[in-house]
Amino acid sequence: MPVLAVLAIFLATLLAMEGFAYAMHRWVMHGPGWILHASHHRSRAGRFEANDLYAFIFALPSILLLYGGVNLGWGGWAIGVGAGIAGYGAIYFGFHDVIVHKRIAHRYVARSLYMKRIVQAHLLHHAVASKAGAVSFGFLWAPPAAALAEELARRGQQGVRAPAERV
Radius of gyration of the chain (CA): 17
pLDDT at 160 over 90: no
- CA triple 35-40-41, angle to 5 deg: 95
Cα–Cα dist 125/135, whole Å: 5
- pLDDT for 162 equals 59
CB 80 within 8 A of CB 16: no
- pLDDT for 129 equals 84
pLDDT at 163 over 60: no
- pLDDT for 159 equals 59
- pLDDT for 117 equals 94
Among residues 163, 164, 119, which one has the least CA distance to residue 145? Answer: 119
- pLDDT for 158 equals 63
- pLDDT for 103 equals 93
What rounded mean pLDDT belongs to the chain? 92
Mean of the pLDDT values across residues 41-66? 94
pLDDT band at 149 (very low <50, low <70, confident <90, very high): confident
pLDDT at 134 over 70: yes
pLDDT at 51 over 90: yes
